[in-house]
Amino acid sequence: MKTQIAIVNNVVETQMMVESLSGRAYGVPGIGLIYGDPGLGKTTATAFVVNRCNGIYIRATSGMSLAQLLRQIVKELSGPEYHSKELMLGYIVERMALESRPLFIDEADYLLNDKSTLESVRDIHDLTASPVILIGMESVRRKLQRHKQFYNRISEWLEFKPATFDDLQTLVAAVVEPEIKIQDDLLQFLLAETDGEVRRIITGLSKIEAMAKANDLDSIDLMQWGNKDLFLKKA
């Protein structure tokens, strides 16, 4: 398989959202929220846009403290090693205000357990005017409503949707070797079996491509695939 990024609808909408935040009018808050179920390609789309806009990408983790978050941001900004949260926050605000680079925080659900961490992210936004984009699970929007001062600063939000058939064709063009043609009936079957989850679609395409290569096929349809499993069956 190829490793090209597929510019599916969710990727395009992510790019448009970040552009809107970056070009917003004075006084409009600049926090964005990307949310959706697992497997829909949020992290991949974010990585693509981060590279295009020279953004700062941070992945939150379970139990991450405020100091750990700030330290990661300082590191991404090529800053020195500080031992004080105040000094780290000061450096971040200075550099981001100067460079106007958007800040992306993936797995943002983990931030909601610590009010001080969320407030510091809000401070970074308020003091730099740089866009801040949180990426989280489907429930993150609802959970953020409990933090009114933060929630009211969200001016752009994007819910990731399952892949459409057009998205699937884009994925095929991006990752399947061009000498192998996967027929529409097999693609429709794959889309139904995966519920449009990009992660599982890629896995399925890999298996289909491998089967075609193993049997010297330059075209494969649903009948040729037969009753083979695309995924590990649930117990």
Sequence ranges of the domains in the chain: 9-159, 165-225
Q: Which residues of the chain fall below pLDDT 70?
A: 232-235
pLDDT of residue 235: 43
Tell how strand 56-59 and strand 181-182 pair up: unpaired
Domain covering 9-159 in this structure, CATH number: 3.40.50.300
State residue 229's pLDDT score: 86
What's the topology of domain 165-225? Answer: Helicase, Ruva Protein; domain 3 (1.10.8)
How many angstroms separate the CA atoms of 93 and 79, rounded?
12
Q: Are 109 and 61 in contact (CB under 8 A)?
A: no
pTM > 0.85: yes
Q: What is the pLDDT of residue 234?
A: 52
